[in-house]
Structure formats: structure tokens, C-alpha cells
Structure 1
């Protein structure tokens, strides 16, 4: 094998050249782990997905997700974008894709549901987070302030202290005061490296998800995500972090039963506006499901020389 096909899509947007870029290798059979990592580094997108036949024939595919520096167990926009790509094909490893696709990943089986227009054409997808909400250590506000190069007094702690949260991939999550603070944030790589030594296991990179609430719409949030240790200075849309944040906020609501829709707007400061739609369901005091959804548009397709 001396070449392999790829497709790129913009995820969490209905407009080409917005949202979060994703490269999908729709048939990665024959690629080694080392080749996958090299291809991901070559694209320098926040993630690239590699699609393989499923180990369980009841599932649609096995999906491996690589950042420019490492393989990760789960991420939001790679799943949404990969489902969109496969949903536009007539054959996925000998089967026609239906409206529900099941992806085998390191974090578990991720179920995706295609969003189609009136003509039946795939225009996006929604996924269910593969793991329940888990919380790691709280992160002191001084560390958050140094990582984001903002005043420590601009970090809000009324709803929750900055904390590591995950529904499949961990992020430090912190609320800041207003859009002005969010716009001023700038990652300090040295501070991230120190935070990583203190708060992240060796096989994970410290990543920071900052957000603020819009005053007139408390469930419409603006966010930015920084992961400079993973060669992702800033990410235009981060579904896995959005899912973790939505689950965290729902868990803190006093109601024991809740069905809430949350919109997270991200990538504005980068010129790649993204809209991530969440639905979080809580019953008997526990978050039971987190759905992460958005639209996609195809951008490029081509051949990678190996």
C-alpha cells in the first residue's frame, strides 16, 4: 500500500471554513500505529480519525483518534465528523450505514445518530458520551490564572471551583467573568507544563476549558479551550470538554430530575465560530446521559502518499 484516501470536514458548523477541522481516514486498514501518528502530525488538526473494521460485528466500526502528539480514548468533534462522513457512504466494511452508528473506541462504545435533512442527506450527527461524569481534583485559581494569563480575580467560583471533569476525556474546567476576560485569555505553555505535572497522569496532557455565561441566556455559554502541551494552542470546538461541562453544571442543579438543553459557542476569537448543542438528562440526582450534537460540512478529499 503506497497511498490512502482522506476526507476533511468542518464540524459543529453549517458553514464551510468555520467550526473545527477534522481529517477522516475512512479505511485505515494496513496503517501502523506509527503511520497514524505521523499522518495526524502532518495535518496538525486537533484530531484525525482512522476508521477500521469493528471487532464486534454488531458495531459499525472501530475508530482510533489521534492528536498531533498522541492517541486519545475519546473526543467529541471527531465522532460527530466521522459519523457524518460514514453516513454519506453507501458501504462501510460491507454494510450500509443506518441512522445509528456505533463506534468502538478506547473509552468504550460511542453511539452516534445522524442528523439528516428533508432529502435524507446527512448534515450532522449527535453522540452520547461514553462514560458517566467523573470529577478529578480541584485546581487552584492561581494555576488557572497563570495558564490563561488572566487576573485571578476574573475567575468565578460561585457555582464551582475550577476542577478536572470528564465524560471520556479529562479537562480542567473554569468559569470566568464576562466575554472580555475570555477574549483576553492567552495560554502560557510554561504554566501548563507545571499544571500538567501536578494535575494530569503521565498518559494525559493538561488541557483547560474556560467559559462564561451570556447574561440574558444562562444556558448559552461561550468557551475557549487551550491544550498547548498537545500542540493544540487553541481548539475551535471541543465536544468532549463541552459534554463534561454540561454534565458538571447539571449535576450541580438542585433538582434531582432534569432535562436541559445547553448551547456552547466556541472558536469565535479564532475566526472559526462553532455551535455545540448539548442535551443533559439527570434523574434521581445523577446525570444519566449527555448528548453532544452539531452540524458538519465537507471541505476536501484527497490522497496521502505513504
Structure 2
């Protein structure tokens, strides 16, 4: 049998931008070892296998594989998967609900872009700056205004605000990160006037030396902005990331501290880079 697939750049500003994602459609004939083998062949940051949902609330189900094995989350890749499903005509534009394991994730999607909404994050934690600075090869003079926090709507990322000139000077040290039990460090400069963060994410704890774009950390920055103090009740901002890797990305975000729990969104484009078919032996399970 031949399974259709496509490669997309999640949050890419054009072809060869954003985080590389492989989406394998109509994958119900594949078993776990097939999926591992195909993901190893693609060598993308993540490979998603799209399956029929098993609960009525979901529009589709996924299994997600990284270089480390199967991921139980399916958060970051949900944007590219939703866009690919709408673009291929498998789902209509509008609300889509992804099932990954026992988790359901709602998005708004069309054939060009998708948006994730998250509500009520767990409390952020203040962090000592020295271990994070050492982990990325910077010193105290590189720090910028704002707290150093662990924050997020699921996994908590380690957020380090720095001066703009320090972004290019970052030299991550995986040994220090292991010693300090830092699976990731998100280094960013916040431009309040332009409502833009220029950022880099190093995540060796997730088998990613540097990620050109990440939805979850975009949500986490919304928590940081709220902790820092929002100028407006609802703030629209963007994250520019991936240029140092030659895969420029833009994440379009909001954080809303109005009535009710804190809410954040992250969204963007997912351009198609490649499409084709995978030849898979018939009868594989």
C-alpha cells in the first residue's frame, strides 16, 4: 500500500522555515514498529501518524514520534497536523479536536494556519539566574528586565530574558544543563514597544539541540508576560525564532488576563515543503 505524507514547516514564514514536521495520513494500517521505522527515516523533529479517533469529541487521532521515541503530548505538532488535514480536504476549516492518547486538544484551523488556546496555567516558579546563564554561556551583564521563571501550560519551560545583543552570543552547554537538571532553556529578548520577542530554545532534555519554533514555549511566554505585568488586559505579541538555524519562524500569540482564568493562544502558518507517498508492505500491523 502507499500512504500519503507531507513535510511542513510549523510556524514557518515560507518554505524551509519553522520546525520540520512529517505528517503521515491514513496511517491505521501501521503498527508501532512501522511508525518507529518511518519516523527514523524522515528524521524530522517530529513525525505524526494520523488515525481515526476513538472518542466522539475528536476529529482525528495522532501518534507522535520524535528521535527519542513516542511522545504522549502532540502539542507542538498539532498546528502543522491540523493545517495539513484541512489543506488536504480531510477536515473542514474551523474547530478541530486532536486526540493524542487520552488528551484532547482543540484548535482553530484553515488551510494556511492554526491556533491553539490554553487556559489556567499552573503557577510559575521563580528561578535562580546563575545556572541558566552558565548553561547558555552568558553572564549577569547579559540579563534584561523581567523575572527568570519556570512557566507553561503543561511542561514548564525555563525562561531567561536577556539583552538583544546576547541572543547571538549564546553558547549552550549540554553538560551544564544536565548537571543543573535543565531539560531546556528559552533565551529571549522582549521588545515591549514592538510587542515582539526574539528568541532561541535549547532543549537537549527533549533530544532537540535547538528548536526553530515551539508552540508550548509560546504559551509559556504569555505566562511570563503576565507575571512581568501586562500593559493591557489583553496583549497580542509575536515571537521571532529559528533564524540562527536558517529556518525562520513567527509565532503569533496572545495572553488575556481579563475576567476568569489566564488564557493564552499561539498560532501561525504551516507551509507545505514536500508531499508524496510511502510504499508500505500490505498487511503490516
TM-score bucket (shorter structure) = 0.7 to 0.9
C-alpha distance in 2, partners of 1:271/1:107?
35
Normalization by structure 1: what TM-score? 0.82
The alpha-carbon distance between structure 1 residues 19 and 102, as it changes in their structure 2 partners (threshold 3 A), is same
User: How far off its partner does 1:135 sit?
Assistant: 3.9
Aligned pairs for 1:177-192 (under 5 A) are 177-178=163-164, 180-192=165-177
Mapped contact 2:126–2:147 kept (Cα < 8 A): no
Alignment match, 2:267:
293
> Which residue does the alignment assign to 2:30?
31
Aligned residue pair count: 280
Matches within 5 A, 1:81-230: 81-91=80-90, 96-106=91-101, 108-115=103-110, 122-129=111-118, 132-135=120-123, 137-156=125-144, 158-161=145-148, 163-178=149-164, 180-196=165-181, 206-214=183-191, 216-217=193-194, 219-230=195-206
Question: Equivalent residue of 2:9, what SS?
Answer: strand
1-side partners of 2:74 and 2:228: how far apart? Answer: 23
1:232 counterpart = 2:223:
no
CA positional deviation for 1:79: 1.2
User: Alpha-carbon deviation of 1:33?
Assistant: 3.4
Aligned-pair CA distance for 1:46 = 2.1
Q: Can you give the 5+ residue segments of structure 2 that lack an aligned partner in the other structure?
A: 281-285
What's the RMSD between the two structures over aligned residues?
2.5
**Residue 51 of structure 1 corresponds to which residue in structure 2?**
50
Using the alignment, how far apart are the partners of 1:154 and 1:285 within structure 2? 36
2:36 and 2:224 map into 1 onto residues whose CA distance is 32
- How far off its partner does 1:188 sit? 0.9
In structure 1, distance between residues paired with 2:177 and 2:33: 27
1:232-265 CA-to-partner distances (Å, cap 9, x unmatched) read 111111111011111231244267x821101110
1:207-248 Cα offsets, whole Å, 9 max, x none, are 11111013642x211010011233311111111101111123
Question: What is the Cα deviation at residue 275 of structure 1?
Answer: 0.7
Checking the alignment, whether the CA contact within 8 Å between 1:149 and 1:186 is kept in structure 2 is yes
Deviates more, 1:186-195 or 1:30-39: 30-39
Contact 1:146 1:191 in 2 (8 A): yes
CA-to-partner distance for each residue in 1:165-200, whole Å, 9 max, x for gaps? 22133311111122x21111122111121132xx6x
Q: TM-score, normalised by structure 2?
A: 0.87
Listed as ranges, the gaps of 5+ residues in structure 1 are 116-121, 200-205
Pick 1 or 2: higher relative contact order, CA cutoff 8 A, min separation 6.
2
Distance in 2 between the 1:248 and 1:107 partners? Answer: 28
- Partner of 1:54, secondary structure, is coil
Q: Distance in 1 between matches of 2:219 and 2:102?
A: 14
Deviation of 1:153 after TM superposition, in Å, equals 3.2
